[in-house]
Amino acid sequence: MWGIRPNSFIAHAQAGVTSNRVLWKMKGLLLAGGHGTRLRPLTYTGNKHMLPIANKPMLMYGFDQLRASGMKEVGVVLGPIQEGIVDALGDGGKFGVRITYIDQPEPKGIAHAVLISRDFLGSDPFVVHLGDNLLKESIPSLAQEFRKSDSDATVLVSRVKDPGRFGVVQISEGKIVKLVEKPKEYVSDLALAGVYFFRQRIFDTIERLRPSWRNELEITEAIQNLLAEGGKIAYHEITGWWKDTGRPEDILEANQLVLSDLKSSVKGNVEDGVAVGGNVELGEGSVVRQGAALRGPVVIGEHSEIGKGAYIGPYTSIGSKVKIFGAEIENSIVLDGAAIDCRERIVDSIIGKDSKILSNGNHRPSGRRFVVGESTFVSL
Mean pLDDT, range 194-220, rounded to an integer: 92
Mean pLDDT, range 267-271, rounded to an integer: 95
Whether the predicted pLDDT of 280 surpasses 50: yes
Residue 363's pLDDT band, with cuts at 50, 70 and 90, is low
* Strand positions, DSSP E, 223-363: 233-237, 242-244, 265-266, 269-270, 275-277, 280-282, 287-288, 293-295, 298-300, 305-306, 311-312, 316-318, 323-325, 328-330, 333-334, 339-341, 345-347, 350-351, 356-358
Paired residues of 190 in beta bridges: 159, 169
Give the Cα separation of 288 and 169 in Å (integer): 49
Q: Residues 10-22: pLDDT tens digits?
A: 333 333 333 333 4
Q: Residues 44-82: pLDDT tens digits?
A: 456 678 889 999 998 999 999 999 988 999 999 998 776
Residue-level pLDDT at 214: 83
Whether the predicted pLDDT of 240 surpasses 60: yes
Q: Residues 78-120: pLDDT tens digits?
A: 987 767 888 889 999 999 999 999 998 888 899 999 999 999 9
Residue-level pLDDT at 110: 93
Residue-level pLDDT at 49: 84
Asked if the bond preceding 365 is cis, omega within 30° of 0, the reply is no
CA-based nearest residue to 51, from 317, 339, 337, 335: 335
Asked if the bond preceding 6 is cis, omega within 30° of 0, the reply is yes
- Residue 139 backbone phi and psi in degrees, to 5: -65, -40
Ramachandran quadrant class, 48 (left: phi over 0; alpha: psi -120 to 50; beta: rest): alpha
- What are the angstrom distances between the C-alpha of 227 and each of 202, 233, 259? 10, 7, 39
Domains and CATH numbers, the chain: 9-245 (3.90.550.10), 262-379 (2.160.10.10)
Residue-level pLDDT at 362: 53
Whether the Cβ atoms of residue 53 and residue 255 lie closer than 8 Å to each other: yes
CA-based nearest residue to 201, from 228, 235, 175: 228
Residue-level pLDDT at 367: 55
Whether the predicted pLDDT of 263 surpasses 50: yes
Residue-level pLDDT at 162: 86
Residue-level pLDDT at 246: 73
pTM assigned to the model:
0.83
Q: Residues 130-164: pLDDT tens digits?
A: 998 888 877 888 998 998 899 999 999 999 888 88
3-state SS track over 138-171: CHHHHHHHHHHCCCCEEEEEEECCCHHHCEEEEE
Residue-level pLDDT at 25: 81
Asked if the bond preceding 314 is cis, omega within 30° of 0, the reply is yes
Which residues, 6 or more positions from 153, have their beta carbon under 8 angstroms from its beta carbon? 196, 197, 198, 199, 202, 223, 226, 231, 232, 233, 234
**3-class SS of residue 350:** strand
Mean pLDDT, range 269-287, rounded to an integer: 95
Residue-level pLDDT at 361: 57
What angle do helix axes 139-148 and 58-68 make, rounded to 10 degrees?
Answer: 40
Q: Residues 302-352: pLDDT tens digits?
A: 999 999 999 998 999 999 999 999 899 999 999 999 999 988 888 998 888
Whether the predicted pLDDT of 177 surpasses 60: yes
Output the DSSP codes for 192-215: EEEEEEE-THHHHHHHT----TTS
Residue 8's pLDDT band, with cuts at 50, 70 and 90, is very low
CA dihedral 113, 116, 117, 119 (to 10 degrees): 170
Q: Is the dihedral of CA 358, 363, 364, 368 positive or negative?
A: negative
- Strand 265-266 with 153-159, pairing: unpaired
Whether the predicted pLDDT of 206 surpasses 90: yes
Average pLDDT of the chain is: 84
Give the Cα separation of 275 and 295 in Å (integer): 8
